[in-house]
Amino acid sequence: MMILPEFDLLRPRSVDEAVAAARRTSGAFDYLGGGTDLLCNYKWGINANPTVISLRHIGELNERQGGSLGGGLTLAELEADEDFLHDFPAFRRTLARLASPLIRQTGTLAGNILVDTRCIWLNQSAFARRALGNCLKADGPECRVVKGSTDRCYANYSGDMAPVFMVYGAEIRLAGPDGERTLPLTEFFSLDGRTRNVKAPEEIVVALDLPGDARTLRASYQKFRVREAWDFPELAVAASARMDGDRIEELSLVASAVASIPLWMDEIAAKYVGRTLDDETIDAVAGDMFKASRPVRATLLPPGYRKHMVRVMTTRALREIRGDAVPVPAAAM
Ligand SMILES: Cc1cc2nc3c(=O)[nH]c(=O)nc-3n(C[C@H](O)[C@H](O)[C@H](O)COP(=O)(O)OP(=O)(O)OC[C@H]3O[C@@H](n4cnc5c(N)ncnc54)[C@H](O)[C@@H]3O)c2cc1C
Ligand code: SF4
């Protein structure tokens, strides 16, 4: 049986109160959204802290104004928001295929963006981990997936929402001890499966802001997973384009769940601006995405197969953007 370790639970009523509470712990705390990721890790004995600061009672995190979405909104609230889905339709299938309905009732937007990286070595009970030998991310000297790595963890980024927000051009709003700051979501993630992003520990994700002109983009999210129920992505591709007839005016691409962060493929995208979105272009983009993705053995499926599927998923995403009917797994909608 997996039992939660003991911790102090704080329930501040404002962002300022939460940040002040975090500072008093000298770093030995975690923020809590819905807890669907954090508390599983606590039960597994992965990097638990003695203080947990719940953000569920902070009203300002639960607001939505147009394309500005509070970090505390639950995934189910977004899924039920027809205005949001109308304006940003790629989220409809993304949300429908994220975890399970029960988890979406509790899981929050910010918690999803910040979902911890995953690895077949790490995400199991403390007993199993001790038997195998601990690893760099929790209580061990080196990475077991990339042998010999003592300074970098290669665990997989597995959140479904961030890649879609990235191709819609979203910004992330943070509040911390030094006030508020906003940065493009494409600049938020930083390579290492332990640190994961540039957020200071005390900073809170207040909101994700989608730009007004994102409503005129065509976007697609293609997720590949083992079971068509609740599984994390084994790899995923998000793409968006602004089209002028059949000519690409703007293109954004993300390969996700093939590294410790969602990979923003801006150099590949830039090559194809001005080209016609025909089969030849789609094959070329998919080939470039395939070459640029280098998954390691941190998830269930073999890296070579996941790399191959990046090509397939890129092709599907671009075909969907073009208006083709693309295969969608039965459970998706
Ligand atoms: C069986 C199962 C299947 C799942 N499948 C998927 C899946 O298919 N796709 C997917 O993307 N996820 C999946 N998840 C992971 C998780 O449920 C979701 O990502 C969920 O959205 C996490 O949100 P949460 O609010 O519960 O996060 P929490 O567990 O509360 O927090 C996650 C992290 O975010 C931090 N945090 C939360 N809110 C804030 C904030 N406002 N500011 C700063 N830090 C914050 C926490 O400190 C923690 O580090 C699955 C989980 C389970 C248990
Ligand atoms: S990638 Fe390496 S360090 Fe990271 S969780 Fe897996 S085994 Fe541990």
The ligand with the least distance to the CA atom of 256 is 1
Q: Whose CA is nearest to atom 3 of ligand 1?
A: 99
176 lines ligand 1 (CB under 6 A): no
Q: Whose CA is nearest to atom 5 of ligand 1?
A: 99
The ligand with the least distance to the CA atom of 43 is 1
User: What's the gap in Å between 182 CA and the centre of ligand 2?
Assistant: 30
pLDDT of residue 254: 98
pLDDT of residue 333: 34
DSSP string covering 119-171, please? -TTTSS-HHHHHHH--BTTBB-SS-TTTTT-SS---PBP--SHHHHHHHTT-E
Distance in angstroms (rounded) separating the CA atoms of residues 286 and 315: 6
User: What's the gap in Å between 171 CA and the centre of ligand 2?
Assistant: 29
Instruction: Specify the residue for token string 């809170």.
Output: 204
User: What's the gap in Å between 233 CA and the centre of ligand 2?
Assistant: 18
Beta strands 247-256; 235-244: pairing state:
antiparallel
Read off the pLDDT of residues 188-205 as tens digits, 9 standing for 90 and up.
999 899 999 999 999 999
Domains and CATH numbers, the chain: 59-118+155-212 (3.30.465.10), 217-324 (3.30.390.50)
Overall pTM surpassing 0.85 (yes/no): yes
pLDDT of residue 130: 86
Distance in angstroms (rounded) separating the CA atoms of residues 228 and 43: 25
32 lines ligand 1 (CB under 6 A): yes
Among residues 321, 323, 157, 160, which one has the least CA distance to residue 251?
321
Q: Which residues of the chain fall short of a pLDDT of 50?
A: 330-333
Cα torsion 235, 240, 246, 248 to 10°: value is -110
Q: Can you say whether the dihedral through the CA atoms of 124, 231, 219, 252 is positive or negative?
A: positive
- Quote the DSSP letter at residue 177: T
144 lines ligand 2 (CB under 6 A): yes
Beta strands 51-54; 29-32: pairing state:
parallel
Distance in angstroms (rounded) separating the CA atoms of residues 214 and 143: 40
User: What's the gap in Å between 287 CA and the centre of ligand 2?
Assistant: 28
pLDDT of residue 125: 86
pLDDT of residue 1: 62
pLDDT of residue 190: 94
Instruction: Specify the residue for token string 């996941």.
Output: 306
User: What's the gap in Å between 139 CA and the centre of ligand 1?
Assistant: 22
pLDDT of residue 138: 87
Read off the pLDDT of residues 221-236 as tens digits, 9 standing for 90 and up.
999 999 988 899 999 9
